[in-house]
Amino acid sequence: MTAELDAIAQKMVADGKGILAADESSGTIKKRFDAIGVESTEENRRDYRELMFRSEAMTKYISGVILYEETIRQKAKDGTPLVSLIEQAGSIPGIKVDAGAKPMPFCPGETITEGLDGLAGRLKEFYDLGARFAKWRAVIDIDTAGGIPSYASIRANAHALARYAALCQEAKIVPIVEPEVLMDGSHDIDTCYRVTEWVLKTTFEELYYQRIRLEGMVLKPNMIVPGKKAAKQASVEEVAEKTVRVLKSCVPSAVPGIAFLSGGQSDEDATAHLDAMVKLGGLPWKLTYSYGRALQAAPQKAWAGKAENVAKAQAAFTHRAHMNSLAALGQWSSEEERKAA
């Protein structure tokens, strides 16, 4: 079993490939669709995801796809299960298994991710449906004036992540461990560094207590960036240097790869930051992407719910995936971005 887990984790972080996060909840995808004037019906959600799964990007630049519970059961217009489309492209189907972040008792303004109850049974069902990896997201906010994050919130979320990871590995499913320090707020880059270091050290301590096989997991962290409302924003070089520094001090070299979340960065920022980190070199693990919005904003806009725009949307998705693939290889440049566009 361990060899199987390790092989899947390695495939998820294969050179020049990344993970597509297509696991938006019903509420989130509705917001995305509202923005492009498309009604969020089951059929529209299926058509949109199907156009991505049938694109050239899937075979060239995408190693795995995180699915939502609805999507893992859906069939394409021609009756082919969407999971089969992903597998036919040479990509790995995955599944989001957490039940979302809920308010945490006695910690105003903080959340704890729920979904552990009954998870063992659900994982078995998802494995039978074709999922070979899973995702669980813990959300850590920063509000220094409000004393956030608290020790209670960081410890509880890290513990839940580790218990989820243990249940996954027992079910022969590779866990993506995602402790996200949010970039909302006005905190500076050094505060993000300090909180992320605390979160990562606590998470790996809990993973150790739960006997997680590090070779059979993938870490999905935030980058070290200042809050969106911070007076001083950071250069690409500073983000890359600080992110690599915190990861080197917290993430054991046994972990095969780190697939970053985009966390609300613009498409090009998410690509440029990843590229700059890879170019620093000398890293014990692979660095790649596990983007949602930074891969999908462009294709959603191009598609706008119209069948005649499918090819255009697929081209937009393939372009973004190609740019991020170059970044994961340390070969991206803004000239490359313009040339390909």
DSSP 81: B
Evaluate whether 195 touches 142 at the Cβ level (below 8 Å).
yes
Q: Note the pLDDT tens digit of each residue in 33-84.
A: 999 999 999 999 999 999 999 999 999 999 999 999 999 999 999 999 999 9
pLDDT given for residue 339 in this prediction: 77
Average pLDDT over residues 2-31: 97
- DSSP labels, 115-184: --TTHHHHHHHHHHTT--EEEEEEEE--BGGGTBS-HHHHHHHHHHHHHHHHHHHHTT-EEEEEEEE---
Evaluate whether 332 touches 275 at the Cβ level (below 8 Å).
yes
Beta bridge partners of 92: 64
Evaluate whether 146 touches 193 at the Cβ level (below 8 Å).
no
Q: Give the mean pLDDT of the chain.
A: 97
Which amino acids are annotated catalytic?
178, 220
Q: Distance (Å, rounded) from C-alpha 260 to C-alpha 241?
A: 15
Average pLDDT over residues 12-27: 97
Evaluate whether 171 touches 132 at the Cβ level (below 8 Å).
no
Q: Note the pLDDT tens digit of each residue in 241-280.
A: 999 999 999 999 999 999 999 999 999 999 999 999 999 9
Residue 294, number of CB atoms within 10 A of its CB: 26
DSSP β-ladder status, 101-103 and 111-113:
antiparallel
| pLDDT band at residue 336 under the 50/70/90 scheme | confident
Give the containing element (helix H, strand E) for 102: strand 101-103
Q: Distance (Å, rounded) from C-alpha 225 to C-alpha 14?
A: 26
For residue 310, pLDDT over 70 is answered with yes
| pLDDT band at residue 192 under the 50/70/90 scheme | very high
For residue 174, pLDDT over 80 is answered with yes
Tokens of 153: 């919130």
Q: Distance (Å, rounded) from C-alpha 78 to C-alpha 76?
A: 5
pLDDT given for residue 341 in this prediction: 61
Which amino acid would we find at residue 333? S
For residue 328, pLDDT over 90 is answered with yes
CA separation, residue 187 to residues 9, 245, 274 (Å):
34, 19, 22
Number of helices and strands in the chain (H, E)? 14, 10
pLDDT over 90 percentage in the chain: 97
pLDDT given for residue 307 in this prediction: 96
CA separation, residue 144 to residues 102, 188, 192, 222 (Å):
21, 10, 11, 18
Least trusted range by pLDDT, from 172-176, 192-196, 274-278, 334-338 = 334-338
Evaluate whether 66 touches 95 at the Cβ level (below 8 Å).
yes
| pLDDT band at residue 338 under the 50/70/90 scheme | confident
Which amino acid would we find at residue 300? Q
Average pLDDT over residues 130-159: 97
pLDDT given for residue 340 in this prediction: 67
pLDDT given for residue 207 in this prediction: 99
Q: Distance (Å, rounded) from C-alpha 142 to C-alpha 263?
A: 14
